[in-house]
Amino acid sequence: MKHYYFDHNASTPPFPEVLDIMQKWSSPDKWANPSAKHHQGKLAAQAVTHARQQVANLIGARDEEEIIFCSGATEALNLGLQGLTRLLEVSSTPTLIAGFVDEHPAVGSCLEALKKYYQQSSFLSFETGFATPKTLPLSQSDDRLVVLCRMMAQNETGRIFNLRECRHQLLRDGDWLFSDLSQAVSKMPVSVVSENIQMAGFSGHKIGGPSGTGVLYFTRKSPRLNILPLVFGGGQEQSFRPGSLNLAGIVGLGLAAEMSLKNLEQYCLHLSGLKAVFEAQMLQRIPEARIIGDENLRLPNTSMVILPDKVIENIRDKTPGLCVTQGSACASAQGKSSHVLAALGLSPIEVKNAYRFSFGRTNTIEEVLEFVDLAFS
Ligand code: PLP
Protein backbone atom coordinates (compact mmCIF):
# COMPACT_ATOMS: atom_id res chain seq x y z
CA MET A 1 0.00 0.00 0.00
CA LYS A 2 1.39 3.38 -0.99
CA HIS A 3 1.49 5.89 1.87
CA TYR A 4 0.75 9.55 1.35
CA TYR A 5 1.81 11.26 4.59
CA PHE A 6 0.11 14.65 4.62
CA ASP A 7 -0.19 14.96 8.39
CA HIS A 8 2.79 17.10 9.37
CA ASN A 9 0.77 19.22 11.80
CA ALA A 10 0.40 16.04 13.86
CA SER A 11 4.07 15.05 13.67
CA THR A 12 7.02 15.42 11.34
CA PRO A 13 9.68 12.84 10.43
CA PRO A 14 12.96 13.66 12.18
CA PHE A 15 15.77 15.10 10.06
CA PRO A 16 18.30 12.29 9.33
CA GLU A 17 20.99 14.55 10.85
CA VAL A 18 18.91 14.66 14.06
CA LEU A 19 18.84 10.86 14.24
CA ASP A 20 22.61 10.78 13.66
CA ILE A 21 23.43 13.28 16.38
CA MET A 22 21.07 11.56 18.83
CA GLN A 23 22.86 8.30 18.19
CA LYS A 24 26.18 10.01 18.74
CA TRP A 25 24.97 11.39 22.08
CA SER A 26 23.81 7.93 23.15
CA SER A 27 27.12 6.25 22.31
CA PRO A 28 29.59 4.72 24.81
CA ASP A 29 31.68 7.88 25.18
CA LYS A 30 28.88 10.47 25.05
CA TRP A 31 26.00 9.61 27.31
CA ALA A 32 26.91 11.06 30.69
CA ASN A 33 24.61 13.04 32.96
CA PRO A 34 24.98 16.76 32.12
CA SER A 35 24.70 17.58 35.84
CA ALA A 36 27.77 15.47 36.69
CA LYS A 37 30.91 17.44 37.52
CA HIS A 38 33.40 15.10 35.83
CA HIS A 39 34.83 15.53 32.36
CA GLN A 40 32.14 13.48 30.59
CA GLY A 41 29.39 15.32 32.43
CA LYS A 42 30.87 18.67 31.41
CA LEU A 43 30.95 17.62 27.78
CA ALA A 44 27.27 16.68 27.98
CA ALA A 45 26.46 19.96 29.74
CA GLN A 46 28.18 21.89 26.93
CA ALA A 47 26.05 20.06 24.37
CA VAL A 48 22.90 20.98 26.31
CA THR A 49 23.97 24.65 26.49
CA HIS A 50 24.55 24.64 22.75
CA ALA A 51 21.08 23.14 22.16
CA ARG A 52 19.54 25.77 24.43
CA GLN A 53 21.17 28.48 22.33
CA GLN A 54 19.96 26.84 19.09
CA VAL A 55 16.39 26.79 20.44
CA ALA A 56 16.62 30.37 21.73
CA ASN A 57 17.71 31.46 18.24
CA LEU A 58 14.76 29.70 16.61
CA ILE A 59 12.20 31.65 18.62
CA GLY A 60 14.19 34.88 18.90
CA ALA A 61 14.62 34.68 22.68
CA ARG A 62 17.15 37.08 24.23
CA ASP A 63 18.86 34.59 26.46
CA GLU A 64 19.29 30.83 26.44
CA GLU A 65 18.45 30.80 30.18
CA GLU A 66 14.87 31.56 29.14
CA ILE A 67 14.59 28.08 27.58
CA ILE A 68 13.41 25.21 29.80
CA PHE A 69 13.54 21.75 28.28
CA CYS A 70 10.45 19.57 28.78
CA SER A 71 8.95 16.41 27.30
CA GLY A 72 6.69 18.17 24.77
CA ALA A 73 4.36 21.10 24.20
CA THR A 74 1.65 19.69 26.45
CA GLU A 75 3.99 19.53 29.41
CA ALA A 76 5.62 22.87 28.57
CA LEU A 77 2.33 24.74 28.22
CA ASN A 78 0.94 23.14 31.39
CA LEU A 79 4.11 23.85 33.35
CA GLY A 80 4.00 27.46 32.19
CA LEU A 81 0.33 28.07 32.82
CA GLN A 82 -0.01 26.08 36.03
CA GLY A 83 3.32 27.24 37.41
CA LEU A 84 2.45 30.85 36.71
CA THR A 85 -1.05 30.51 38.16
CA ARG A 86 0.31 28.98 41.37
CA LEU A 87 2.78 31.80 41.77
CA LEU A 88 0.18 34.50 41.11
CA GLU A 89 -2.07 32.92 43.75
CA VAL A 90 0.73 32.54 46.29
CA SER A 91 1.89 36.11 45.70
CA SER A 92 -1.72 37.40 45.99
CA THR A 93 -1.57 39.06 42.57
CA PRO A 94 -5.04 39.96 41.27
CA THR A 95 -5.09 38.41 37.79
CA LEU A 96 -7.50 37.62 34.96
CA ILE A 97 -6.37 34.62 32.91
CA ALA A 98 -8.13 34.39 29.55
CA GLY A 99 -8.06 31.89 26.69
CA PHE A 100 -9.82 31.70 23.32
CA VAL A 101 -12.16 28.88 22.29
CA ASP A 102 -9.86 27.52 19.58
CA GLU A 103 -6.79 26.95 21.74
CA HIS A 104 -5.40 23.41 21.65
CA PRO A 105 -6.57 21.30 24.63
CA ALA A 106 -3.02 21.53 26.04
CA VAL A 107 -4.01 25.12 26.86
CA GLY A 108 -7.84 25.02 26.76
CA SER A 109 -8.26 22.00 29.07
CA CYS A 110 -5.52 23.26 31.34
CA LEU A 111 -7.36 26.58 31.72
CA GLU A 112 -10.65 24.80 32.41
CA ALA A 113 -8.96 22.70 35.10
CA LEU A 114 -7.33 25.76 36.68
CA LYS A 115 -10.65 27.61 36.64
CA LYS A 116 -12.25 24.79 38.67
CA TYR A 117 -9.27 24.37 40.94
CA TYR A 118 -9.04 28.07 41.81
CA GLN A 119 -12.75 28.85 41.88
CA GLN A 120 -12.51 29.94 45.55
CA SER A 121 -9.48 32.15 44.92
CA SER A 122 -9.81 35.80 45.91
CA PHE A 123 -7.11 36.81 43.44
CA LEU A 124 -7.58 34.77 40.28
CA SER A 125 -10.41 34.94 37.78
CA PHE A 126 -10.70 33.14 34.45
CA GLU A 127 -12.44 33.85 31.17
CA THR A 128 -12.16 30.89 28.84
CA GLY A 129 -13.66 29.53 25.67
CA PHE A 130 -14.59 32.82 24.02
CA ALA A 131 -14.46 33.72 20.33
CA THR A 132 -14.34 37.44 21.07
CA PRO A 133 -13.51 38.43 24.62
CA LYS A 134 -16.12 40.61 26.24
CA THR A 135 -14.16 41.96 29.18
CA LEU A 136 -10.91 42.85 27.43
CA PRO A 137 -9.17 45.22 27.45
CA LEU A 138 -9.64 45.92 31.13
CA SER A 139 -9.99 49.57 32.05
CA GLN A 140 -6.83 51.35 33.17
CA SER A 141 -8.33 51.61 36.67
CA ASP A 142 -8.75 47.83 36.91
CA ASP A 143 -5.61 46.78 38.77
CA ARG A 144 -5.75 43.13 37.73
CA LEU A 145 -2.94 41.76 35.62
CA VAL A 146 -4.18 40.04 32.43
CA VAL A 147 -2.56 36.87 31.11
CA LEU A 148 -4.02 36.27 27.65
CA CYS A 149 -3.50 32.90 25.94
CA ARG A 150 -3.41 33.22 22.17
CA MET A 151 -1.75 30.58 19.99
CA MET A 152 0.33 31.84 17.08
CA ALA A 153 -1.13 29.40 14.53
CA GLN A 154 -4.13 27.10 14.78
CA ASN A 155 -3.40 23.39 14.40
CA GLU A 156 -6.59 22.41 12.54
CA THR A 157 -7.23 25.30 10.18
CA GLY A 158 -3.67 26.64 9.97
CA ARG A 159 -5.03 30.11 10.75
CA ILE A 160 -2.26 32.51 11.73
CA PHE A 161 -3.13 35.02 14.43
CA ASN A 162 -1.69 38.48 14.44
CA LEU A 163 -0.41 38.69 17.99
CA ARG A 164 0.62 42.33 17.78
CA GLU A 165 -2.89 43.27 16.72
CA CYS A 166 -4.29 41.01 19.43
CA ARG A 167 -2.14 42.76 22.05
CA HIS A 168 -3.03 46.17 20.66
CA GLN A 169 -6.76 45.43 20.79
CA LEU A 170 -7.05 43.44 24.00
CA LEU A 171 -4.20 44.19 26.35
CA ARG A 172 -2.84 47.17 28.24
CA ASP A 173 0.86 47.89 28.67
CA GLY A 174 2.19 45.49 31.27
CA ASP A 175 -0.31 42.68 30.54
CA TRP A 176 1.16 39.34 29.51
CA LEU A 177 0.75 37.27 26.37
CA PHE A 178 1.07 33.48 26.59
CA SER A 179 1.41 31.81 23.21
CA ASP A 180 1.33 28.21 22.06
CA LEU A 181 3.91 28.23 19.26
CA SER A 182 3.58 24.51 18.41
CA GLN A 183 2.31 25.00 14.86
CA ALA A 184 4.13 28.23 14.08
CA VAL A 185 7.77 27.27 14.69
CA SER A 186 9.49 26.03 11.55
CA LYS A 187 6.60 27.17 9.31
CA MET A 188 6.87 30.93 9.80
CA PRO A 189 9.29 33.38 11.39
CA VAL A 190 8.83 33.52 15.15
CA SER A 191 10.27 36.11 17.50
CA VAL A 192 9.04 36.16 21.07
CA VAL A 193 10.77 39.51 21.59
CA SER A 194 9.33 41.38 18.63
CA GLU A 195 5.88 39.79 19.16
CA ASN A 196 6.09 40.81 22.83
CA ILE A 197 5.29 37.29 24.09
CA GLN A 198 6.09 36.68 27.74
CA MET A 199 5.58 32.91 27.83
CA ALA A 200 5.40 30.22 25.13
CA GLY A 201 5.85 26.54 24.39
CA PHE A 202 6.26 24.03 21.58
CA SER A 203 7.18 20.41 20.77
CA GLY A 204 10.29 18.95 19.12
CA HIS A 205 8.48 16.38 17.00
CA LYS A 206 6.68 19.07 15.00
CA ILE A 207 9.93 20.61 13.72
CA GLY A 208 11.84 17.53 12.58
CA GLY A 209 13.14 16.88 16.10
CA PRO A 210 12.64 13.92 18.41
CA SER A 211 9.36 12.95 20.10
CA GLY A 212 9.45 13.37 23.85
CA THR A 213 11.10 16.79 23.69
CA GLY A 214 9.62 20.24 24.08
CA VAL A 215 10.36 23.74 25.21
CA LEU A 216 8.93 26.21 27.67
CA TYR A 217 10.03 29.81 27.18
CA PHE A 218 9.42 32.65 29.58
CA THR A 219 11.00 36.03 29.74
CA ARG A 220 13.51 36.57 32.51
CA LYS A 221 14.00 40.27 31.81
CA SER A 222 11.52 43.14 31.79
CA PRO A 223 9.30 41.68 33.02
CA ARG A 224 11.15 38.97 34.95
CA LEU A 225 8.60 36.17 35.04
CA ASN A 226 8.75 33.32 37.48
CA ILE A 227 6.80 30.13 37.98
CA LEU A 228 6.43 27.63 40.79
CA PRO A 229 7.54 24.16 39.70
CA LEU A 230 5.03 21.33 39.49
CA VAL A 231 7.56 18.68 40.47
CA PHE A 232 10.47 18.89 42.88
CA GLY A 233 13.85 17.26 42.59
CA GLY A 234 17.50 17.79 41.88
CA GLY A 235 17.46 21.39 40.67
CA GLN A 236 17.88 20.83 36.93
CA GLU A 237 16.43 23.43 34.54
CA GLN A 238 16.81 26.11 37.25
CA SER A 239 14.53 23.93 39.45
CA PHE A 240 11.56 24.80 37.24
CA ARG A 241 11.59 21.31 35.70
CA PRO A 242 13.90 19.10 37.71
CA GLY A 243 14.98 15.58 36.76
CA SER A 244 17.96 14.24 34.79
CA LEU A 245 17.96 15.66 31.31
CA ASN A 246 17.05 13.79 28.13
CA LEU A 247 20.50 14.39 26.67
CA ALA A 248 20.14 12.80 23.22
CA GLY A 249 16.64 14.27 22.84
CA ILE A 250 17.78 17.77 23.77
CA VAL A 251 20.78 17.67 21.44
CA GLY A 252 18.49 16.39 18.65
CA LEU A 253 15.96 19.12 19.36
CA GLY A 254 18.70 21.76 19.24
CA LEU A 255 19.89 20.58 15.86
CA ALA A 256 16.32 20.43 14.52
CA ALA A 257 15.84 24.03 15.70
CA GLU A 258 19.03 25.15 13.97
CA MET A 259 18.14 23.36 10.72
CA SER A 260 14.58 24.69 10.78
CA LEU A 261 15.81 28.24 11.18
CA LYS A 262 18.54 27.93 8.56
CA ASN A 263 16.15 26.54 5.95
CA LEU A 264 13.04 28.48 6.94
CA GLU A 265 12.60 30.59 3.83
CA GLN A 266 13.25 27.75 1.42
CA TYR A 267 11.07 25.41 3.47
CA CYS A 268 8.12 27.84 3.50
CA LEU A 269 8.38 28.26 -0.28
CA HIS A 270 8.37 24.49 -0.69
CA LEU A 271 5.32 24.14 1.57
CA SER A 272 3.31 26.89 -0.08
CA GLY A 273 4.12 25.35 -3.48
CA LEU A 274 2.75 21.99 -2.36
CA LYS A 275 -0.35 23.56 -0.88
CA ALA A 276 -1.03 25.71 -3.94
CA VAL A 277 -0.79 22.73 -6.30
CA PHE A 278 -2.96 20.61 -4.05
CA GLU A 279 -5.69 23.21 -3.65
CA ALA A 280 -5.75 24.26 -7.32
CA GLN A 281 -5.84 20.68 -8.59
CA MET A 282 -8.44 19.64 -6.07
CA LEU A 283 -10.76 22.57 -6.83
CA GLN A 284 -10.39 21.95 -10.56
CA ARG A 285 -11.62 18.38 -10.10
CA ILE A 286 -14.01 18.91 -7.17
CA PRO A 287 -15.44 22.43 -7.40
CA GLU A 288 -17.80 21.68 -4.47
CA ALA A 289 -14.84 21.19 -2.12
CA ARG A 290 -14.49 24.05 0.36
CA ILE A 291 -11.24 25.27 1.87
CA ILE A 292 -11.54 26.72 5.36
CA GLY A 293 -9.83 30.04 5.93
CA ASP A 294 -8.33 32.86 3.98
CA GLU A 295 -5.21 31.91 2.00
CA ASN A 296 -3.25 34.92 3.29
CA LEU A 297 -3.99 34.12 6.90
CA ARG A 298 -3.02 30.45 6.78
CA LEU A 299 0.19 28.54 7.45
CA PRO A 300 1.96 27.69 4.20
CA ASN A 301 1.37 23.95 4.68
CA THR A 302 -2.22 23.58 5.91
CA SER A 303 -5.42 22.98 3.94
CA MET A 304 -8.50 22.13 5.95
CA VAL A 305 -11.04 21.05 3.33
CA ILE A 306 -14.65 19.97 3.45
CA LEU A 307 -15.17 17.21 0.95
CA PRO A 308 -18.39 15.74 -0.47
CA ASP A 309 -19.30 12.20 0.72
CA LYS A 310 -18.61 10.61 -2.66
CA VAL A 311 -15.07 12.00 -2.69
CA ILE A 312 -14.40 10.68 0.80
CA GLU A 313 -15.54 7.22 -0.34
CA ASN A 314 -13.25 7.48 -3.35
CA ILE A 315 -10.30 8.45 -1.16
CA ARG A 316 -10.95 5.42 1.05
CA ASP A 317 -11.11 3.10 -1.96
CA LYS A 318 -8.26 4.50 -4.05
CA THR A 319 -5.80 5.83 -1.48
CA PRO A 320 -6.16 3.74 1.70
CA GLY A 321 -2.57 4.71 2.58
CA LEU A 322 -3.49 8.39 2.98
CA CYS A 323 -2.41 9.83 6.34
CA VAL A 324 -4.39 12.98 7.18
CA THR A 325 -6.45 14.08 10.15
CA GLN A 326 -10.13 14.76 10.58
CA GLY A 327 -10.15 17.72 12.97
CA SER A 328 -7.19 17.73 15.33
CA ALA A 329 -5.17 14.56 15.90
CA CYS A 330 -6.01 14.61 19.61
CA ALA A 331 -9.74 15.09 19.08
CA SER A 332 -9.98 12.37 16.43
CA ALA A 333 -7.94 9.94 18.57
CA GLN A 334 -10.60 10.31 21.26
CA GLY A 335 -13.43 10.00 18.72
CA LYS A 336 -14.47 13.60 19.51
CA SER A 337 -15.45 15.99 16.76
CA SER A 338 -13.59 19.23 16.37
CA HIS A 339 -14.61 22.03 18.77
CA VAL A 340 -12.60 24.42 16.61
CA LEU A 341 -14.61 23.81 13.45
CA ALA A 342 -17.86 23.84 15.43
CA ALA A 343 -16.85 27.24 16.83
CA LEU A 344 -16.37 28.47 13.26
CA GLY A 345 -20.05 27.69 12.68
CA LEU A 346 -19.65 24.50 10.65
CA SER A 347 -22.55 22.04 10.80
CA PRO A 348 -21.96 18.53 12.28
CA ILE A 349 -21.99 17.10 8.73
CA GLU A 350 -19.41 19.61 7.53
CA VAL A 351 -17.26 18.86 10.57
CA LYS A 352 -17.51 15.12 9.81
CA ASN A 353 -16.40 15.74 6.23
CA ALA A 354 -13.55 18.09 7.13
CA TYR A 355 -10.08 16.74 6.35
CA ARG A 356 -6.84 18.44 7.32
CA PHE A 357 -4.03 18.06 4.80
CA SER A 358 -0.77 19.32 6.26
CA PHE A 359 2.29 19.08 4.05
CA GLY A 360 5.91 18.85 5.08
CA ARG A 361 9.48 19.03 3.91
CA THR A 362 9.58 15.38 2.81
CA ASN A 363 6.57 15.73 0.47
CA THR A 364 7.06 16.37 -3.24
CA ILE A 365 4.93 17.99 -5.93
CA GLU A 366 4.92 14.65 -7.83
CA GLU A 367 3.53 12.89 -4.78
CA VAL A 368 0.79 15.48 -4.34
CA LEU A 369 -0.16 15.26 -8.02
CA GLU A 370 -0.20 11.48 -7.91
CA PHE A 371 -2.48 11.57 -4.87
CA VAL A 372 -4.81 14.15 -6.43
CA ASP A 373 -5.09 12.06 -9.62
CA LEU A 374 -6.03 8.96 -7.70
CA ALA A 375 -8.23 10.46 -5.04
CA PHE A 376 -10.10 13.16 -6.92
CA SER A 377 -10.68 11.53 -10.29
N1 PLP B 1 -0.50 22.80 20.75
C2 PLP B 1 -0.79 22.63 19.46
C3 PLP B 1 -1.22 23.81 18.65
C4 PLP B 1 -0.67 21.38 18.86
O5 PLP B 1 -0.97 21.23 17.56
C6 PLP B 1 -0.26 20.29 19.67
C7 PLP B 1 -0.19 18.93 19.10
O8 PLP B 1 -0.87 18.59 18.17
C9 PLP B 1 0.04 20.52 21.01
C10 PLP B 1 -0.09 21.79 21.52
C11 PLP B 1 0.48 19.41 21.92
O12 PLP B 1 1.70 18.90 21.49
P13 PLP B 1 2.28 17.54 22.10
O14 PLP B 1 1.21 16.51 21.89
O15 PLP B 1 3.51 17.29 21.32
O16 PLP B 1 2.53 17.76 23.54
pLDDT in tens, 189-224: 999 999 999 999 999 999 999 999 999 999 998 899
Nearest to 362 by CA among 309, 310, 301: 301
How remote is the CA of residue 307 from the centroid of ligand 1, in Å? 25
- For 273-287, what is each residue's pLDDT tens digit? 999 999 999 999 999
Does the pLDDT of residue 332 top 80, yes or no?
Answer: no
Grouping H, G, I as helix, E, B as strand and the rest as coil, residue 291 is strand
Maximum Cα–Cα distance across the chain: 66
Residue pair 330/105 in contact (Cβ under 8 Å)? The answer is yes
Of how many residues is the chain composed?
377
Kindly give the interhelix angle for 264-285 and 247-262, rounded to the nearest 10 degrees: 70
Q: What are phi and psi of 365, to 5 degrees?
A: -60, -40
Contacts of 373 (CB under 8 A, 6+ apart): none
Other beta carbons within 10 angstroms of residue 128's beta carbon come to 19
From 8, 81, 183, 340, the mutation candidate for ligand 1 (largest count of ligand atoms within 8 A of CB) is 183
Average pLDDT, the chain: 96
Smallest CA separation from ligand 1 atom 5, residue: 155
Contacts of 163 (CB under 8 A, 6+ apart): 150, 152, 177, 179, 195, 196, 197
How remote is the CA of residue 289 from the centroid of ligand 1, in Å? 27
**Cβ-count burial 190-227 (b if 16+ within 10 Å, e if not):** bebeebbbbbbbbbbbbbbbbebbbbbbbbeeeeebeb
How remote is the CA of residue 39 from the centroid of ligand 1, in Å? 37
Single-letter amino acid, residue 309: D
Burial zone of 133 (CB within 10 Å; 0-12 exposed, 13-18 middle, 19+ buried): middle
> Which residues make beta-bridge pairs with 201?
180, 216
Residue 330 CA: which ligand 1 atom is closest?
Answer: 8
- For 69-121, what is each residue's pLDDT tens digit? 999 999 999 999 999 999 999 999 999 999 999 999 999 999 999 999 999 99
Single-letter amino acid, residue 161: F
Find the mean pLDDT for residues 54-60: 98
Q: What are phi and psi of 354, to 5 degrees?
A: -90, 125
Please report the sign of the dihedral spanned by the C-alpha atoms of residue 194, residue 195, residue 201, residue 207: negative
How remote is the CA of residue 287 from the centroid of ligand 1, in Å? 32
Single-letter amino acid, residue 19: L
Burial zone of 323 (CB within 10 Å; 0-12 exposed, 13-18 middle, 19+ buried): middle
Find the mean pLDDT for residues 226-230: 98
What's the pLDDT at 28?
Answer: 86
Residue pair 143/94 in contact (Cβ under 8 Å)? The answer is yes
Can you give the pTM of this predicted structure? 0.97
What's the pLDDT at 291?
Answer: 97
Find the mean pLDDT for residues 310-335: 82
User: Ligand 1: does its nearest atom lie under 6 Å from the Cβ of 73?
Assistant: yes
Out of 10-14, 124-128, 129-133, 226-230, pick the least confident: 129-133
Find the mean pLDDT for residues 241-260: 98
What's the pLDDT at 316?
Answer: 94
Q: In sequence order, which ranges of the chain are alpha helices (DSSP H)? A: 16-24, 39-59, 73-90, 105-117, 163-170, 247-262, 264-285, 309-318, 329-333, 339-343, 348-352, 365-375
How far apart CA 373 and CA 280 sit, in angstroms, is 12
Q: Kindly indicate the confidence band of residue 327, based on its pLDDT and cuts at 50, 70 and 90.
A: low
How far apart CA 146 and CA 136 sit, in angstroms, is 9
How far apart CA 354 and CA 69 sit, in angstroms, is 35
- For 150-178, what is each residue's pLDDT tens digit? 999 999 999 999 999 999 999 999 999 99
Residue pair 186/206 in contact (Cβ under 8 Å)? The answer is yes
Which of the following is catalytic: 110, 166, 268, 330?
Answer: 330
How large a percentage of the chain has pLDDT more than 90? 94
